[in-house]
């Protein structure tokens, strides 16, 4: 049985979601798990409300079961680490995207925008940061059509330390990028935190200059 199948069978069987499997130098096998999530009844586009986090006890329970299963299947590894997702949690499935609607995410496209940039951003640009939204399906879209997502952002001019910004300066225009899951090379929650938890950035800020 393949490693992914072994791990997924154990993790989901214990009632958790498998987020990521990584093999690192020195024989480290790192497994990331999360608590399961179901969309709110009647409205799947509202994103994830605050919910409990994976605990140390959760990780220990999964570790014990995985150690036994990996030994039985003779999987080669030297050290096993089971943990909860970090603040830059990967988003690999449409359910992950639905779960974090309204959050700030970093996306990297497989291909640059090219002519689709329409002069609004660089045609070679592939990386974007913005607030994740789910677009309503078109009236004539098939019932089983793939979900369409978008991120919304503003490319605010970079200011130097100590530079005063005029209150009269008009805000940068709001921009949006629509996509489907298959067009993404990678998507992650943006690692933005404050003292109250993950920032939701309703004003579409901040925007790092290195994403241009």
DSSP code string of 74-86: T---SEEEEE---
The answer for residues whose C-beta is within 8 angstroms of residue 199's C-beta and 6 or more apart is 104, 192, 193
C-alpha distances (whole Å) from 212 to each of 90, 193, 199, 206 are 21, 22, 22, 13
Cα gap 85→73, rounded to integer Å: 26
The closest of 193, 192, 188 to 32, measured between CA atoms, is 188
Give me the tens of pLDDT residue by residue for the chain, a chain 212 residues long: 789 999 999 999 999 999 999 998 889 999 999 998 877 665 544 555 556 789 999 999 999 999 999 999 999 999 999 999 988 999 999 999 999 999 999 999 999 888 877 778 888 999 999 999 999 887 777 777 789 999 999 887 666 677 676 777 777 788 899 999 999 999 999 987 765 555 455 455 444 434 44
Report phi then psi at 166, rounded to 5.
-65, 135
Q: How many whole angstroms separate alpha carbon 210 and alpha carbon 189?
A: 17
- How do strand 127-134 and strand 79-83 relate by DSSP bridges? unpaired
Residue 53, both tokens: 């986090």
Domain extents in the chain: 3-83, 94-211
CA 211, CA 177: separation in Å to the nearest integer? Answer: 14
- The CATH classification number of 3-83 equals 3.30.300
pLDDT above 90 coverage of the chain, percent:
55
Contacts of 59 (CB under 8 A, 6+ apart): 33, 82, 83, 84
Burial class (CB in 10 A: 0-12, 13-18, 19+), 107: buried
* Maximal C-alpha separation, the chain: 68
Which 3 state secondary structure label does DSSP give 154?
A: strand
Distance CA 95, CA 204 (A): 23
């Amino acid at each position: 049985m393949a490693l992914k199948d072994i791990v997924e069978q154990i993790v989901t069987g214990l009632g958790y979601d498998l987020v990521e499997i990584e093999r690192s130098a020195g024989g480290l096998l790192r497994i990331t798990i999360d608590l399961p999530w179901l969309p709110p009844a009647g409205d799947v586009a509202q994103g994830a409300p605050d919910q409990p986090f994976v605990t140390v006890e959760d990780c220990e329970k999964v570790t014990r079961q995985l150690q036994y299963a990996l030994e039985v299947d003779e999987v080669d590894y030297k050290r096993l680490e089971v943990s909860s997702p970090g603040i830059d949690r990967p988003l690999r499935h449409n359910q992950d995207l639905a779960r974090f609607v309204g959050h700030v995410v970093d996306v990297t496209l497989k291909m640059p925008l090219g002519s689709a940039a329409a002069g609004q951003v660089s045609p070679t640009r592939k990386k974007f940061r913005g607030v994740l939204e789910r677009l309503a399906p078109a009236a004539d879209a098939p019932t089983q059509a793939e979900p369409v997502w978008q991120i919304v952002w503003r490319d605010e001019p970079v200011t130097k330390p100590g530079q005063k910004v005029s209150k009269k300066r008009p805000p940068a225009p709001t921009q949006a990028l629509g996509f489907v899951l298959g067009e993404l090379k990678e998507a992650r929650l943006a690692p933005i935190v404050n003292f109250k938890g993950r920032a939701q950035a309703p004003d579409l800020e901040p925007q790092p200059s290195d994403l241009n």
